[in-house]
Chain A
Amino acid sequence: MDKMPNWADVVLVPLISLFLAFALSGLVILAIGENPLEALQMMVTGALGSTYGWGYTLYYATNFMFTGLAVAVAFHARLFNIGGEGQATLGGLGVALVCLSFEWPHWTLALIAAMAGGALFGAAWAAIPAWLQAKRGSHIVITTIMFNFIAAAVLNYMLVNVLRPDGAMDPATARFPEGTNLPTLHDMLAVFGIPFSKAAPVNISFLIALLACFLVWLLIWRTRLGYEIRAFGHSESAARYAGISGVRITMIAMLISGGLAGLMAINNVMGEAERLVLNSVEGAGFIGIAVALMGRSHPFGVALAAILFGFLYQGGAELALFTSIPRELIVVIQALVILFTGALDNMVRMPIERIFLALNRRKEG
């Protein structure tokens, strides 16, 4: 064996990274004169101590799963899609247009149509940077970032000038019709007689996000297209040898990626707000990058990382509400988690690897 076992790679390393991030966060909290243990307890009870807390944690996690998957799919084709934010924004527009266009008889029909609308708008928004990358060589990191700003401006324009109901002061669409309201986890669990907080926004989109994780796994590891995406991502020159078109893979991977980001809107726009407001995405597109990094671009890893970040979001909100720890500190904690699990991955991995190698050698010797 010249490498460490797989479980250490996918479980131990992220856990240690996480621990380090939390330890450092604790020091920061200590430095501003608060008790880190109390803060941790507050976060855990706030996010996981009640069905209400869970409801919010999973609601956030749903957003992050979609955007995390979006980044992960593109990443398999070695495309760094930083445009999840903009694609999800446009996805929201698509969902809103679908929901408002028609007096929907039942939420199931509305959901299917809204998914199509959100995915289509998100994919279309990713298609332009993808085309520029594939055909013109414009770097996708630059173009997707710029498209985030354009998306925000487009949404602003649409809400202020087109979608705002007459007489309303608020740059937001009208409330979606009754027939588009999605069942919440409370509604669904009630069928089985399991009590769950009524106030929490987690809804059926959570299950769709889990399904999306599974389908992305199937796509990447079990289909020809996934094979080609991975092959292209690992080696462009080899893809050329095999006759895999780089233009085609770049386009398809980005369309899927944008579509997944756009799908997020069924959760935050259709499921929670039930209308489209400014800045509806609230940075979930960027959290998706961290989620994909921490989940190592594997859908199951993405699902777990999304739940972790959902916990950080909800626990952080509780912290800001009930202690004198400022809200900005939550951002610091999130940033540390991203820093340690994403950017500083090798800092933890290398020493662990060395330890395992040394153990192996002793066993052999």
Chain B
Amino acid sequence: MSAPAIELKGISKSFGPVQANKDISLSVARGAIHGIIGENGAGKSTLMSILYGFYKADAGEIFIGGQKTEIPDSQAAIAAGIGMVFQHFKLVENFTVLENVVLGAEDGWKLGPSLRKARQELTALAKEYELNVDPDAVIEEIGVGMQQRVEILKALYRKADILILDEPTGVLTPTEADQLFRILRRLRDEGKTIILITHKLREIMDATDTVSVMRRGKMTATVKTAETNPEQLAELMVGRKVLLQVEKTPAKPGDVVLSASNLRVVDDAGVERLRGVSLDIRAGEILGIAGVAGNGQSELLEVLGGMQAAEGSLTLNGTDLELVGPQANGRARRARGIGHVPEDRQREGLIMDFHAWENNAFGYHDDPAFNTGLLMNNRALRKDTEKKIAEYDIRPANAWLTAKNFSGGNQQKIVVAREIERSPDLLLIGQPTRGVDIGAIEFIHKQIVALRDAGKAVLLVSVELDEILGLADRIAVMFDGRIMGERDAGATDERELGLLMAGVTDEGDN
């Protein structure tokens, strides 16, 4: 038996008082796909950053191929045969594939020979691993899936034997994700070692050979993927039993609450972001908008939430909503009964430097309940916040804490509590569980379903197909600013939606 590709012994790392990694030991076998799963903040990224030389561990040892190795910086990591594919690609947008691959690994002061050598090597790699990419294509003109391949090629060009991928499928369609996993398996079969960091249980089950679970900075278990199941992994991640499936009864759709027709948005650069979107949402139903990020879902949410001017027409309960002008703003929309949990809670939904109780009024600070005459009634506001903190189990239960001191899940609970407790006729909710821990996901999903059951309309935008499938009653798929098709959630599956998400036209529909 050969030495493991990577062995970590007793790695600890703290940032100030926060211990991100506690005495972590991990052994990754050569030629395997090893998954690391854990909630946000469990310490996965810190661990990988230590391995890639971004952080220095406070304690512990790293063995690469059985040899004790110091990794003070990423150059050392590359020299030790470690390659990393980041969640957010590190590519120069207006360079070609070839130039990006060579960047930082040039041989001398003359670029020509390096490029020629890289071109040969790239052709060889493409053949070996079925990683076909046009070396002369410019990065900004190729798709996200292709860009990711370039990242992998960059690592392989630098002779990486160990490849770390951090949340690689976040930006991919299901089909592209499948292609990625095929590539990863091929790489494994050729003897490469792969570490896959993800929070998606399904990917772990699909793609990995072994899986390690992290929770609160500790490695809680390492198991063979074939010998475990999603429920057990979820339990290991959270530390208690969790419901992975949302429990809900069939929807009882009522009258149309929101009706949008022919919405169009052109952005500052002149690009058409929405190209005539029409949809109806009924009372008592959840309409899910599926799609790969960046296909117009954000703009749709912003238009409905009053943050973005648009052409077209929009009615709420039969009366018109303005799409341009002074009444097209979030405040006016709220007054009409539209709640909005924005996609990006840190940039939009919360003021990160405000106390929890100040955030509880955000967007509703005109509410008479929060005001007495000219002044704001901070005491009433704090009281209301404390009530919500108790009801939503927001932790730490301290209304005086600033938003940035809460975890992602608790931040999201503050926003969700604020918007849902108003009992809006229509709730717009974008990426409700992005960066949210499993326990909180379960809770937030329940609240959304409860709102629907109370006869309210919900528009759910999410790039997590599982979430859309589990939560929505009806699903519309967006691609390139258009709605490609609508399906009943019960009568469709991932494959069908995946095709629509990739822009394959919806012929069977009419």
Binding site for B on A (CB under 8 A): 1-2, 218, 222-224, 227-228, 230-231, 234-235, 237-238, 240-245, 357, 360-361
| In the complex, residue of chain B having the shortest beta-carbon distance to the beta carbon of A222 | B375
A224 to B369, CA, bound (A): 13
- Give 1 or 0 for each of B325-344: 1 = CB within 8 Å of chain A CB: 00001111110000010101
Q: List 15 A-B contacts (CB under 8 A).
A: A2-B17, A222-B375, A222-B376, A223-B374, A223-B375, A223-B376, A228-B365, A230-B354, A237-B347, A241-B305, A241-B330, A241-B342, A241-B363, A242-B331, A243-B329
With contacts A218-B375, A234-B354 taken as known, whether A224 is within 8 angstroms of B17 at the C-beta atoms is no
Q: Are A243 and B16 in contact (CB under 8 A)?
A: no
Q: Are A241 and B340 in contact (CB under 8 A)?
A: yes
Total number of A-B contacts with CB less than 8 angstroms?
Answer: 73
Q: Are B307 and A241 in contact (CB under 8 A)?
A: yes
Q: Are A242 and B363 in contact (CB under 8 A)?
A: yes
A224 to B375, CA, bound (A): 7
Tell me the chain B residues, 444-480 only, with Cβ under 8 Å from chain A.
Answer: none
Q: Are B17 and A227 in contact (CB under 8 A)?
A: no
A68 to B33, CA, bound (A): 61
With contacts A228-B365, A234-B351, A235-B352 taken as known, whether A243 is within 8 angstroms of B375 at the C-beta atoms is no
A360 to B14, CA, bound (A): 15
Q: Are A2 and B330 in contact (CB under 8 A)?
A: no
User: Which A residues touch B132, using CB under 8 A?
Assistant: none
With contacts A243-B306, A243-B332 taken as known, whether A238 is within 8 angstroms of B349 at the C-beta atoms is yes
Binding site for A on B (CB under 8 A): 16-18, 305-307, 329-334, 340, 342, 344, 347-354, 358, 361-363, 365-366, 371, 374-376, 378, 405
Residue from B347, B362, B375, B376 within 8 A of A231 (CB atoms):
B362
Q: From DSSP, what is the main secondary structure of chain A's interface residues?
A: helix
User: Which B residues touch A222, using CB under 8 A?
Assistant: 375-376, 378
Residue from B344, B354, B363 within 8 A of A243 (CB atoms):
B363
Q: Are A238 and B376 in contact (CB under 8 A)?
A: no
Q: Are A243 and B347 in contact (CB under 8 A)?
A: no
Residue from B16, B306, B351, B361 within 8 A of A238 (CB atoms):
B351
Which 7 residue pairs spanning A and B have beta carbons closest together? A243-B331, A243-B330, A243-B329, A242-B363, A241-B348, A234-B351, A237-B347
Q: Are A227 and B358 in contact (CB under 8 A)?
A: yes
Chain A proximity of B348: nearest CB distance (Å)? 4
User: Which B residues touch A1, using CB under 8 A?
Assistant: 17
Chain B proximity of A239: nearest CB distance (Å)? 9
Other A-B contacts than A235-B348, A238-B351, 9 sampled, CB-CB below 8 A, are A2-B17, A222-B375, A223-B374, A223-B375, A223-B376, A237-B347, A238-B362, A243-B329, A361-B17
A355 to B300, CA, bound (A): 49
User: Which B residues touch A241, using CB under 8 A?
Assistant: 305, 307, 330, 340, 342, 348-349, 363
A223 to B366, CA, bound (A): 10
Q: Are B376 and A234 in contact (CB under 8 A)?
A: no
Residue from B18, B344, B376, B405 within 8 A of A227 (CB atoms):
B376
A357 to B14, CA, bound (A): 13
Chain B proximity of A349: nearest CB distance (Å)? 14
Chain B proximity of A174: nearest CB distance (Å)? 41
A235 to B348, CA, bound (A): 8
A243 to B352, CA, bound (A): 17
Q: Are A240 and B348 in contact (CB under 8 A)?
A: yes
